[in-house]
Amino acid sequence: MNTVTVADEAAIQYAADLLRQGNLVAFPTETVYGLGADALNPSAVKRIFAAKGRPTNHPLIVHIASAHLLSDWAINVPDEAYQLAAQFWPGPLAMIVNKRSHIPNEVTGGQDTVGLRVPNHPIALKLLHTFGGGIAAPSANRFCRISPTQAQHVAEELGRAVELILDGGACQVGVESTIIDLTGKQPRLLRPGQISVTALEEVLQTKLLTVLSHETNQHIAPGMMAVHYAPSTPAILCSGADIDNMAETWIRQGKRVGKLLLQPSLTVSQEHDLCLPAQAEDYAQGLYAALRILDSWQLGVILIEQPPTSITWQAVNDRLKKATHRA
Ligand code: TXA
Ligand code: MG
């Protein structure tokens, strides 16, 4: 596996050639790094599942170069899709629509629908334009692990399973795209992300359905599985008021404790404490890298200070819930 810092045309050409030959290329998007393959090449797509250790019935998002291509990939495209695309593409929004029949079952997990997204990252867009087709790409991590937000994370997760990693530095959004399902009677939120429910409802002029946890169906959206995005170290959410007492309790039990705190924090007292900004978008950007660092210290437990629960923190709280869920 090669890691290439992308500035020049040649690296993108090389990446596009690798995709044409059925290889895997990891590339940066504004959300997280994706593990890409030619979306119309079933054997290349199968390699994604093998590299990630992901069950084959978990559908992939197809990345496309522009909203103009929506009808190349989807049939019966609802007006809502065009309205959302006009407002949010390129950007961190994936839409589930009815798929065209030429999209391989390997991409969609055998479903009649497909997830589509135009990523807002110059390298991803350049790769899409140069390649000239759709790129099926899940997050470039092993199944159920934390998504990578830096090229180095991809190398650590996937090693030789990926032919090339395009290094575009740290991802700006830091958590995966918002997913909206437009195939039902009413639009449905499947995964919260930086684009909020409020912003979507404003464009659609209608309320979104939200899939409740008891309805969670990993076949529909494995991103909604309770255990996902998880560090290996047990992680626990607790309030800022309780976190020091909690830490003491664990330390008394002989555990090495790390904390993930909100800035500004007076409780950064231990060697293994990290702080993230108290602004939702900045926190989201740093979250996965911070969890990886905490995980690498092989602590007994990670205590995470509960951030605010307002709507702007919805995506962060969703990921923290998943990171701290124990089966
Ligand atoms: O931000 C992102 O979306 C990143 C970057 C690389 O674009 N990709 C990403 O892909 O997060 P992945 O595979 O890790 O998560 C995609 C989610 C999964 O939960 C999957 O179930 C859901 O999208 N999904 C894809 N196609 C679907 C479909 N046809 N119906 C329902 N859910 C679908
Ligand atoms: Mg993922």
246, 152: one domain: no
Is 222 a pocket residue for ligand 1 (Cβ < 6 Å)?
A: yes
How confident is the model at residue 264, as a pLDDT? Answer: 77
How confident is the model at residue 230, as a pLDDT? Answer: 80
Looking up residue 33, the CATH number of its domain turns out to be 3.90.870.10
209, 124: one domain: yes
Which ligand is nearest to the Cα of residue 95, counting in written order? 1
How confident is the model at residue 8, as a pLDDT? Answer: 78
Tokens read off for 321: 């819930």
Residue 222, in any domain of the structure: no
The vertex-152 CA angle with 151 and 153, nearest 5°, equals: 90
97, 148: one domain: yes
Specify whether the CB–CB gap between 156 and 26 falls below 8 A: no
97, 142: one domain: yes
Ranges in the chain, pLDDT < 50? 212-220, 222-223
Specify whether the CB–CB gap between 200 and 94 falls below 8 A: no
Tokens read off for 31: 């959300």
43, 184: one domain: yes
- Ligand 1 atom 20: residue of nearest CA: 221
Q: In terms of residue numbers, what domain contains 255? A: 235-323
Nearest to 26 by CA among 119, 134, 155, 126: 155
13, 115: one domain: yes
Specify whether the CB–CB gap between 56 and 49 falls below 8 A: yes
DSSP state of 206: S
- Reading phi first (left if > 0) and then psi (alpha if -120 to 50, else beta), residue 53 is in left
248, 309: one domain: yes
pLDDT in tens, 233-281: 999 999 999 999 999 999 999 999 999 999 976 655 678 899 999 999 9
How many residues make up the chain in this entry? 327
How confident is the model at residue 213, as a pLDDT? Answer: 47
Residues forming beta bridges with residue 302, ordered by sequence position: 235, 258
117, 16: one domain: yes
Instruction: Compute the chain's Rg from CA coordinates.
Output: 20
Specify whether the CB–CB gap between 88 and 197 falls below 8 A: no
Q: Quote the distance between the C-alpha of residue 170 and its chain's center.
A: 14
Residue 10's contacts (CB-CB under 8 Å, 6 or more residues apart) are: none
DSSP state of 161: G
The Cα–Cα gap between 191 and 218 comes to 12
CA of 141 to the centre of ligand 2 (A): 7
How confident is the model at residue 214, as a pLDDT? Answer: 42
How confident is the model at residue 112, as a pLDDT? Answer: 97
pLDDT in tens, 292-303: 999 999 999 999
Tokens read off for 2: 């090669």
Q: What's the total number of domains in the chain? A: 2
Is 176 a pocket residue for ligand 1 (Cβ < 6 Å)?
A: yes
How confident is the model at residue 4, as a pLDDT? Answer: 61
Strand duo 61-63 + 209-210: pairing: unpaired
Give CA separation, 60 vs 81, 99, 108, in Å. Answer: 18, 12, 6
Nearest to 126 by CA among 39, 63, 84, 82: 63
- Ligand 1 atom 22: residue of nearest CA: 221
pLDDT in tens, 11-31: 999 999 999 999 999 999 999
CA of 212 to the centre of ligand 2 (A): 20
Residue 64, in any domain of the structure: yes
Give the residue from 185, 215, 245 where a domain finishes: 215
The CA-based diameter of the chain, rounded to the nearest angstrom, is: 61
Question: How many Cβ atoms from other residues are within 10 Å of residue 206's Cβ?
Answer: 11
Looking up residue 308, the CATH number of its domain turns out to be 3.40.50.11030
Tell me the average pLDDT of the chain: 92
How confident is the model at residue 219, as a pLDDT? Answer: 46
